[in-house]
Chains A and B, each alone.
Chain A
Amino acid sequence: MADRPQGEASAAGDNRPKLSLHVPEPKFRPGDAVDFSHIQVPEAGAQPRPDETTKPEDMLDFAHGLIRVLGEDNKAHGPWDPKLDPETLRTMLGHMAMTRAFDERMFRGQRQGKTSFYMKCTGEEATSVSASMALAADDMVFPSYRQQGILIQRGYPMIEMINQIYSNRGDKLKGRQLPIMYSSKEHSFFTISGNLATQTPQAVGWAMASAIKGDSRIAATWVGEGSTAEGDFHSACLFATVYNAPVILNVVNNQWAISSFSGFAGAERATFAARGVGYGIASLRVDGNDPLACYAAEQWAANRARANAGPTLIEFFSYRAEGHSTSDDPSGYRSAQERDEWPLGDPVMRLKNHLIEIGEWDEERQEKMDLEAAEYVKKTTKDAEENGILGHGLHHPFRTMFEDVFEELPWHLKEQAEQAIHERETKFPEGLPNGGKGA
């Protein structure tokens, strides 16, 4: 710098162009007409299906294309068709419909003040339900926060989910976690963190452990496209490839991270599947709103992992049809038309139409199923409310606040627990409310 000309002379004498910073901007903001014609949607069935043991460098195209099975004609096409029997397809549809009914009810419950927070997965049901169906029930999953479809598919009792959402005395996590941060070891479902992408390298570690022990179980993890920006994601990719870990890294690209579009995670330059390529990981880019393609891709990756052929990164290209959570209003940052114009449609509708097309379903049965799902969720919600809703006293006993910080209570936590109980007794000298139930 020292020998550069200073002041005006430098502006006149410097013929190099001025630098400019690029700040990504989504194509559409509130009120804008939406045109998604820039998104390339290949014909269903157009992509070949490589062998599961194919070397990553021999399948680079799969990181940039889009694996699709269900076509505009509602028929299944091409080599990725998993050829599931109609009963399995109906089961898949049922889990997705149940997930949607559950989301509707819980969202409403939050609006009614029964809990603090909720997150729907509307439009992304296939990325959890269909993918989970392609795994074995004892394969370990490390989900992010929008994979409630996995628990529903794995038969986790819905009342446990609602108890957790209400943080009531029935909540087996003892009211410690933000709603929807479930945990179920029995269902091989890892405790959800709330910090983003931390689960991704943990899943790789679990898969490494399974390989160290000569086990046959594999691990699968889900992360949003926005969270692939975290260093943890890159650590995960590196460890997965270095140790050839039996793990599936699912990236759900739903286009939005709260109000930030995928461009802030790098989507203007490359696909998210392409991130795997640099690490030498087999990478598939999949129509995330196509339940059959989601199933087929996850099954391919599971076969690969089980064959000791290594990890797979799957980008599920999808769309977040609702807000990030109950805490944001998407009409404040994106065009309301996006959802209707999304070129890959809705996963529940697509599977339903496929089943009708092959003569295995009809509108009447769909209506009946939706009604039954809504009724089941309603009844289960009522049952859960017997255990209380957030902020109404029917929480776990005070002492549980200090348990599980360590396996055994050290002296300083014992002292603090005594203080908490003293405060409780000072506030309620006549005894605890609700006859002490749960308080």
Chain B
Amino acid sequence: MSDTATKTAPEAENSTERRLNMIEAINDALDVSMGRDENIVVMGEDVGYFGGVFRCTAGLQQKYGKTRVFDTPISECGIIAAAVGMGAYGLRPVPEIQFADYIYPGLDQLISEAARLRYRSAAEYIAPITVRSPFGGGIFGGQTHSQSPEAIFAHVSGLKTVIPATPYDAKGLLISAIEDNDPVIFFEPKRIYNGPFSGYYDKPVEPWKRFDASVVPEGHYKIPLGKARYATEGEELTILAYGTMVHVVEAVCREKGVEADIVDLRTIVPVDIETIEESVKKTGRCLIVHEATRTAGFGAELSALVTERCFYHLEAPVERVTGFDTPYPHSLEWAYFPGPIRIGEALDKILSE
């Protein structure tokens, strides 16, 4: 359980020293999966010949052909709906929504259709779809290229929501998501596509290859959905985070000399309640950090779970650090972002009680 994001890579079969950034790891996961299962198709805006605006599907059309990797019209409703129909046929579609901010026109097809197909048909029809989508801010994307809408999907019964924080995890989680027989929303934190983020936007990005979590084995391996990971271990408090924020809180703790259990949730539905309980009961303090807006964000659910299950172990109120309840502003995005000051003050508060 105690692998960390930046120090040691978990052991895996056929491990080599090959180092990849998150884009390359995602591309590798798609490549490995498509090579193993000819029912996997990849589709989305610009994913074909061009290889995706973030290059996650680069080279796949050349390798697997135009009927397995293809561009689509700019219609998220149509993309998700076609994937549902393909899934009913027996394919295993992996549609890409170019930005999570664009996913809303496809919501009815996700929420009312993909998520409910198994239930409403008593398992006659299933939707083994993995919807990949870059999410989160910190790239000057403005209010339509920066959102973190994971709580919307966490609220839907029948959807799994997965968010990787490292290249190693991105590959193993994506392969698990693709092989899962339920619809999975796979949000890729685009701020850390090329390297982990310390929260200091004015410092240069350190590329993934300097970190052990970029060691990505060749071939097939899986990281189970619903299992969290300790990014760091410590006695002082538990920090629940996922995606970009795992690295930001890690940097802040390092800077402040705080020894924390940083729990990288990896999957928010189903969430790894065992690991959360184990850690909070050990430390007695819990800080929840996410980039998404605060009100009814996934942090609210985590806070409720921790309070319900660990109340008598708590030595301080559960704290949340989140984005503000505003759209993601373009010029003021670093004022929005839950950075080192917001996190640091929350740490001081929770540790002083």
- Minimum CB–CB distance from A139 to chain B (whole Å) comes to 12
Select the stretch in A2-10, A229-237, A299-307 that faces chain B. Answer: A229-237
A198 to B85, CA, bound (A): 10
Give 10 closest A-B pairs by Cβ, nearest first.
Answer: A205-B85, A205-B82, A235-B78, A201-B81, A209-B89, A410-B270, A191-B121, A202-B85, A206-B85, A209-B86
In the complex, A340 has a CB within 8 A of chain B: no
Q: Given the known inter-chain contacts A183-B122, A204-B85, A209-B86, please indicate yes or no for A195 contacting B78, CB distance below 8 A.
A: no
Residue pair B125, A191 in contact (C-beta under 8 Å)? yes
Residue pair A410, B226 in contact (C-beta under 8 Å)? yes
Residue of B nearest to A241 (CB): B73
A190 to B113, CA, bound (A): 12
Contacts of B136 in A (CB 8 A): none
Contacts of B109 in A (CB 8 A): 198, 201-202, 232
- List which B41-96 residues lie within 8 A (CB) of chain A: 41, 67-68, 72-73, 75, 77-78, 81-86, 88-91
What are 19 inter-chain pairs, A to B, with CB distance below 8 A?
A140-B88, A173-B121, A173-B122, A176-B119, A183-B121, A183-B122, A183-B124, A193-B120, A195-B113, A209-B41, A213-B89, A231-B77, A231-B105, A235-B73, A236-B78, A238-B73, A238-B78, A239-B72, A407-B126
Residue pair B125, A185 in contact (C-beta under 8 Å)? yes
In the complex, A39 has a CB within 8 A of chain B: no
- List which B116-172 residues lie within 8 A (CB) of chain A: 117-126, 157-158, 160
Residue pair A242, B158 in contact (C-beta under 8 Å)? no
- List which A265-307 residues lie within 8 A (CB) of chain B: none
Contacts of B122 in A (CB 8 A): 172-174, 176, 183, 404
A411 to B89, CA, bound (A): 30
Contacts of B181 in A (CB 8 A): 407
Contacts of B160 in A (CB 8 A): 406
Q: Given the known inter-chain contacts A177-B120, A191-B124, A405-B118, please indicate yes or no for A212 contacting B67, CB distance below 8 A.
A: yes
In the complex, B112 has a CB within 8 A of chain A: yes
- Minimum CB–CB distance from A232 to chain B (whole Å) comes to 6
Q: Given the known inter-chain contacts A176-B119, A183-B121, please indicate yes or no for A201 contacting B86, CB distance below 8 A.
A: no
In the complex, A412 has a CB within 8 A of chain B: yes
Q: Which of A203, A208, A232, A238 has the most CB of B within 10 A?
A: A208
In the complex, B345 has a CB within 8 A of chain A: no
- Minimum CB–CB distance from B63 to chain A (whole Å) comes to 16
Residue pair B113, A183 in contact (C-beta under 8 Å)? no
A329 to B77, CA, bound (A): 34
Contacts of A405 in B (CB 8 A): 118-119, 157-158
Contacts of B72 in A (CB 8 A): 239
Q: A191-B120, A405-B118, A410-B270 are in contact. List 10 more A-B contacts (CB 8 A).
A: A173-B122, A176-B119, A185-B121, A198-B108, A201-B77, A209-B86, A212-B86, A213-B91, A238-B78, A406-B158
In the complex, A126 has a CB within 8 A of chain B: no
Q: Given the known inter-chain contacts A191-B124, A193-B112, please indicate yes or no for A206 contacting B88, CB distance below 8 A.
A: yes
Contacts of B88 in A (CB 8 A): 140, 190, 202, 205-206
In the complex, B273 has a CB within 8 A of chain A: yes
Q: Given the known inter-chain contacts A235-B78, A406-B182, please indicate yes or no for A195 contacting B108, CB distance below 8 A.
A: yes
In the complex, A96 has a CB within 8 A of chain B: no
In the complex, A184 has a CB within 8 A of chain B: yes
In the complex, A181 has a CB within 8 A of chain B: yes
Contacts of A184 in B (CB 8 A): 124
Residue of B nearest to A214 (CB): B67
In the complex, A210 has a CB within 8 A of chain B: yes
- Minimum CB–CB distance from A292 to chain B (whole Å) comes to 30
Residue pair B85, A207 in contact (C-beta under 8 Å)? yes
A411 to B86, CA, bound (A): 30
Contacts of A209 in B (CB 8 A): 41, 85-86, 89-91
A325 to B215, CA, bound (A): 60
Contacts of A410 in B (CB 8 A): 226, 269-270
A209 to B67, CA, bound (A): 9
Residue of B nearest to A207 (CB): B85
Contacts of B121 in A (CB 8 A): 173, 183, 185, 191
